[in-house]
Amino acid sequence: MEGSVFTVPMALFDFVPVILFGIAGRLLMRGLYNKMRKGVFVCLDLGVCLAFLAGFLKALYKLLIALGVAEVPFLNNQFLPLQSTGLLLTGLSIVLMLALKKRSAAMMAPLTIGFISMMVIGLGGMCAGLSVLAKKMKKGWLILIFVLCFFVYMGMGYLCARGGDTAKDNWIEQGVNTVGQLLLLTGVGSLYRAGLRDYKLA
């Protein structure tokens, strides 16, 4: 940190555009909420949050250096991938809103299928990868836990896609969600206690 070009006023000033973007993003989300389908609004919400977080962490990186506290490379390295992803999602959501219109349910089907496919691929990769890791660490019984976790997550995805808005629907969704998270925590916790941190991949 010696010889750093960052000063405290400079680092604090870095937060100004971040805050301005955050306010603009919040207004954008509030203004467009009733004009977007749920899936498209999730894109907007996530995009704005990621872009804001990227800028905030980068400004925090400079402030910590300026104060002589620490240099945390992650706070700097995350900026480009996080902000580019956030801005892409933000722009995509607005284009989709204009192209598809809120009432075009039939046209939203490909987007919904796309999101569901992303979820299945992501969760499938996570659970399959953890299952392989469990086998390598001679914890084969955890494979069943991760397989159950995958199917519970799929059930949660189905319930969310169904879009139930009643109190009963919400209790069921969160009950299923809790079971899924408990299964994941059980599996990951068992791997960690079995020496995951020090395990060397062959």
Per-residue pLDDT of the chain (202 residues; tens, 9 = 90+): 554 677 888 888 889 999 999 999 999 898 888 888 888 888 899 999 999 999 999 999 989 988 889 888 999 899 899 999 999 989 988 888 888 765 555 555 666 667 677 778 888 888 999 999 999 889 889 999 999 999 988 887 777 666 656 667 777 877 888 898 999 999 999 999 988 888 887 6
Please count the helices (runs of H) and the strands (runs of E) in the chain.
Answer: 8, 0
Burial level of 58, CB count in 10 A (0-12/13-18/19+)?
buried
CB neighbours of residue 120 within 10 Å: 14
Helix (H/G/I), strand (E/B), else coil: 1: coil
List Cα–Cα distances, 15 to 12, 19, 56, 74, 122, in angstroms.
6, 6, 7, 18, 33
Find the distance separating the first CA and the last CA of the chain, reported in whole Å.
37
Taking the whole predicted model, whether its pTM rises above 0.85 is answered as: no
